[in-house]
Amino acid sequence: MKHSKRSYHLAAFSIILLVVFLTLSVINRDGSTMLDDIVGYLITLFFVTVLAGFVFAMLSLREPSSRVKTIGLAVNVILFVLLAVNVLLNLQRVTAAFAT
């Protein structure tokens, strides 16, 4: 139950981080401010929590089945897949920009 609880808590924290940095990124602001740095740090923290949550979700596969394990596994796998697709699409755009 140890890994599944950590996975569950990291999934909840990742969702909260996602909502916070999306809310902060849509605020209309002029020029570069300290808010841009905060959003950048939140995005980095989001990457770390998604990766750690995915690792704990994979480690929790050996534990007995429970509601916490199922929710943590499902949310972390979905967030990890979305993060991987986003990174791959960004890499594709960067290579396309430098290819011409």
Q: What is the domain partition of the chain in residue ranges?
A: 2-99
DSSP annotation string for 2-43: HHHHHHHHHHHHHHHHHHHHHHHHTS---S--HHHHHHHHHH
Q: Which residue has the higher pLDDT, 24 or 84?
A: 84
Average pLDDT over residues 74-86: 95
Mean pLDDT of the chain: 90
Q: 16 or 32, which is more confident?
A: 16
So what's the pLDDT on residue 22? 86
Check whether 30 has a pLDDT greater than 80. no
CA 54 to chain centre: 9
Residue 99's pLDDT is 86
